[in-house]
Structures are given as C-alpha cells and as structure tokens.
Amino acid sequence: TRADAVLWAAPLLGWQLIERLAARRGRLTLSDLPAALPWRTWIACAVLLLPWAVYAAAAFGSPIPNSVTAKRYAYLIPDGAALIRMIQTYATPFFEFDTFGSLGAMIASAAYLLLSLLAISFTARRAPRMLPWLVYPWLYLIVFAVLNPLIFRWYMAPPLPALMMGIVVGAWALTGVFRRAALRWALVGAAGALWLFMSINGWTLHPDHGPDRPAPRMAFHALELEYQRMAEFLRDDLGVTETTRVASGDIGAVGYFSRAMIVDTVGLVTPELTRYYPVDPALVAADQNYAIPPALVYDTQPEFLVTMEGFVREGLAREARFLADYRLIREQPFPFYGTAMQLYQWQGASSTD
C-alpha cells in the first residue's frame, strides 16, 4: 500500500493503545506494560500486511511505493497548491459545485468544517472510539498541505468516506437542540435527501468520452485513452515487445497496453532516476509543471519516448542532440499538457558522441 495509509492506520492503533493504557491508569508499572499492549490487534494487522510486504520487497525492492516521494520532487508546484486543491475537494464531497456553483461550494466549505468539528466534539463524549476515524481526513489534509505534492484526483478518494461521515454526524449533533425526535429525523433526512440529489446531479448518463454509461461528470480520463491509443500503436504497428525500452512520464496505460519495458521518467517505479530531479525550472514550459530532464533520456537511451508536447517544449525539443538522436514519428492532438501527445523513435548514436 502507499505510505500515506499510515495516516489512517496510525490514529486507530494509537487510540487503541491509549485506551488500553488509560484503563490501567494508576495501576500500570513498567513490568506490566507488555501485558497491557494490544498485541492481538497489532499482530493481526501485521499478518494482513506481511504477504504484501514480502511480495513488494521481492518484486519492487521495497514494500513502500516510491510514488508520492518521486512526484514531490519531479513536479514544480506553487506554494500552497496542495492546500487549495484539498479545500476545493473537501468543500464538494457531494458534487455541490455542479448544483449550486462557486457560491454553493464556498458556503459548503465553511459549513462542512463546522459540522466536522461538531462531529468530533460530539463523538468525543458519546462514541470516543470514532475519533480516530473522524480526525483522519483532517490529518490527511494537514500532511498533504505541508508536503505540497501534486494532487491527483485519486489522492482525494481515501479521506472522503470519513469526511462524509463526519458531516452527517455533525448534522445529527446539530439537531440536538430540538427535543422532538421526529423533527430531528426529519431534518437529517432532508439533509440526506439534498446530499443524495446533489450526488446524482453530479453524474451524466452519456459521458463525452470512454464507455457510454452513467459516470460522474468529473470522471475525466481522456488522457488515459490517448495513452492507450499510443500504446496500442506501439504494440500493433511498431511491434514493441517486453524487451523494448519505452520511456514515458505517465506509465500506467503505456506499460499496460504496450507490454514494453518501461523507463519511468518520473521515477515512480525506477527510483534510481529520481537523481535527475529537481529539474532546472528553465526547462519547464510556462503553462506546465513538469519537464523531462534531457540527461535522463541521454543516459537511459530508450528506443521510444512517449510524452506530452508541453513536457519537452523548452527542453528536449530544443536540443540538437535529442533532435539528432530521436525523430518525431507520431502526434495525437490533445488540448492539455501542451498541444499533443508525441511519440519519438531513437535513430541511433548522436553525432556529438
């Protein structure tokens, strides 16, 4: 699993430890400490994680993925960008923006923060074992805001269930000012109906790309479809195999559909390549946050390079050595990350060698 899973597991295990120690308050000596620890829970957790740890260490060299660390150094991110993205997501867990626009999202951000704080206060008195779960999304926000990595959409999935539960619990706690149980249920039910309506309203029956079936409007994966097209071209038209070295900054679809040997220019699965970062800011185009380091390509010498135009515009595409070594053989127009997805093929040794 990813290292940030600790942000979910550590509060749960820590709270259990505090609870066990608090139960023996005044009667706990140093010699009693081993018996007071929740060994059964900890061992059960270790047993669940051990198979993955062994497999990951054998297959990838480490049980801890390199993804977040590599992305943190590979991308040039403005200060505070992660915090802004987190706030935007936490303000719209039920697709509030699609129903009420920017004003609705702004109001929701303040309301949901207050409801979450109210939920934490409420559960501290009524159900303290829920505290680690309700605190988790805010711990997640703080850590990612401090580290300030590039926030991909899937980074936002883990904390949302706990955030939503906190909002619902906070709404229930808020209705405590009313004595009539029927009124409390009616108010919470109305809020639930509104959240359900907004969530459904955030979907479309016929997405403009991908499978023609209902999906959230924000489920944008046109880029991955373009990578799939490029990978299938590599496999079917150019005949790449598992021994063909293909470099790319977005490796998932390229590797899966081409079945080639991937040179990951970001360093997610090739941690030895992280030494080429941070990249010289002069190589990063004005409207981009990433550039492929030229030295990385020269040193690894892949047979093919799959890249977005914006990732090479100010760097590789301007270098005589690269243009002598590689030829642009395919372009797929795309409106993000430059003007197109590009495929370069190695032509042989550089004339400067």
Domain ranges, ordered by start, for the chain: 1-62, 66-206, 222-346
Q: What is the pLDDT along the chain (353 residues), one digit of tens a residue?
A: 577 888 988 899 889 888 887 777 666 667 777 777 888 888 988 898 899 889 888 887 778 777 777 788 899 999 999 999 999 999 999 999 999 999 999 999 999 999 999 999 999 999 999 999 999 999 999 999 998 988 988 889 999 999 999 999 999 999 988 888 899 999 999 999 999 999 999 999 999 888 899 999 888 889 999 999 999 999 999 999 999 999 998 888 999 999 999 999 998 888 889 899 999 999 999 989 999 999 999 999 999 999 999 999 999 999 999 999 999 999 999 999 999 999 999 997 444 44
Q: Name beta bridge partners: 344.
A: 305, 328
The answer for residues whose C-beta is within 8 angstroms of residue 184's C-beta and 6 or more apart is: 172, 175, 176, 178
For residue 353, how many C-alpha atoms fall within 13 Å in the half-sphere facing its CB? 9
Placement of tokens 């062994």 in the chain: 54
Q: Which of 195, 203, 194 is nearest to 165 (CA)?
A: 195
pLDDT at 65: 75
82 and 88 in contact (C-beta within 8 Å)? no
Residue partners of 41: CB distance under 8 A and separation at least 6 = 13, 16
- Cα–Cα nearest to 330, from 266, 240, 268: 240
Which pLDDT value is given to residue 218?
85
What is this structure's pTM? Answer: 0.86
Closest by CA position to 230, among listed 248, 210, 245: 248
Q: For residue 114, how many C-alpha atoms fall within 13 Å in the half-sphere facing its CB?
A: 7
pLDDT of residue 353: 41
3-state secondary structure 118-140: HHHHHHHHHCHHHHHHHHHHHHH
d(C-alpha 19, C-alpha 155), whole Å: 31
pLDDT at 71: 81
Q: Which 8-state DSSP code applies to residue 313?
A: T
CA distance 291 to 306: 13
Q: What is the dihedral of CA 336, 337, 343, 344, to 10 degrees?
A: 160
pLDDT at 52: 86
Instruction: Give the Cα separation of 258 and 49 in Å (integer).
Output: 31
What pLDDT score does 1 carry? 53
Question: Where would I find the beta strands (DSSP E) of the chain?
Answer: 203-204, 215-216, 245-248, 261-264, 304-308, 326-333, 340-346
CB of 70 closer than 8 Å to CB of 266: yes
91 close to 109: Cβ distance less than 8 angstroms: yes
- Are 40 and 168 within 8 A, CB to CB? no
- What DSSP character marks residue 231? H
CB count within 10 Å of CB 302 equals 22
Going from the C-alpha of 244 to that of each of 148, 255, 261, 314, 315, the distances in angstroms are 35, 11, 6, 27, 24
pLDDT of residue 17: 85
